[in-house]
Copies of this chain bind each other. A is one copy, B any other.
Amino acid sequence: MSHNTFGKLFRVTTWGESHGPALGAVIDGCPPTLPLSEAIIQPWLDKRRPGSSRHVSPRQETDQVKILSGVFEDDRTGGPVTTGAPIALQIENIDARSKDYDAIRDKWRPGHADYTYDAKYGLRDYRGGGRSSARETAARVAAGAVARQILGETVHIEGALIQIGDKAINRANWDSSAIGENPFFSPDPDVVGEWEELLDALRRDGSSTGAIVELNVSGIPAGWGEPVYGKLDAELAAAMMSIPAAKGVEIGAGFAAAAMRGEDAADQMRAGEDGPVFLSNHNGGVLGGISTGQDLVIRVAIKPTSSIRIERQTLDRDFNETTIETRGRHDPCVGIRAVPVAEAMAAIILADQYLRHRGQIG
């Protein structure tokens, strides 16, 4: 994890700003002969795309991905497959309205990275947040689609939103098939109406709120992860915390584990047909930084969108006190579109850990 590259054998480098001509990813270390085409990647981008409902940013981006390298016709099938060479993916920015941002050129938006980019780099591309914009995550999603080709069909990454604002789902209602059928990735159909009302109200107020994303990953065998610093959960935590607006990460019982007793927290084992069957999953599928073969359970807290139409106190770049309202086209809850991003990050970390495991143990 450094600057704009992550992964060790499966390495993803991303680039691009919110209002530049394009953004993209270069994927290095992808195994050869995996089927890969734009048609395979595009559905994942469509899932994250803005403009898909009234509850996300109305910015119109088709987010069409182009593959510029690393893929060639397979001798046997004639279809395109990876070659082992770096895979360059590119997405053009189409609907960038940079003029919207003249008002914030010289002011720091509270909650955004405006001040910190200026403090670190001495300048910032203020158009839409530049590199700090969540638009950057389109490249992660595209790279995640490539990672999924390594993981194959047996690994299933299910992302869902389990809370918006202070309204959590009722876990008793969990229905995985519902996730794709509402604009919130909610597994609880009953909460959808409440969330719509909440977001409509927030949009009217020019305000925003946070959310909690949950990932459940099935199909990971026991043994992935590199203790003691490249632990599977440690790398997942870094990946999740690198998502814009993320403020917390939990594995399994997470913070609730603090209040448990040892005999309840330690997942007991019984003999199953293909190995251990665990009687609970408080550890979220990871013990000692290595996958147990159970489902991975990961939760990510996403803070409220910082771009709001409500006047806030701030400074300009000359340290004068002023106020700001952020106009432009924004998600009232960035947590929604964080779901496919979190899924992509998990896919990338898992693909990389799998290859590393195969290298060391294979």
Contacts and interface: CB of A to CB of B under 8 A. Distances in A.
Contacts of A152: none
A202 B29 contact: no
Interface stretch (A177-185, A187-195, A267-275): A267-275
A263 B308 contact: yes
A44 to B, nearest CB: 19
A69 interface: yes
Given A250-B301, A266-B312, A276 B115 contact: yes
Given A16-B69, A207-B261, A235-B238, A361 B121 contact: yes
B16 A88 contact: yes
Contacts of A355: 359-360
A60 interface: no
A1 B269 contact: no
Do most interface residues of chain A lie in helix, strand or loop, or is the interface mixed? mixed
Interface residues on A, range: 35 or more
A1 B268 CA distance: 30
B248 A120 contact: no
A113 interface: yes
B13 A13 contact: yes
Interface in A266-316: 266-271, 275-276, 279, 282-284, 286-293, 299, 301-308, 310, 312-315
A300 to B, nearest CB: 9
Contacts of A265: 111, 210, 303-304, 306
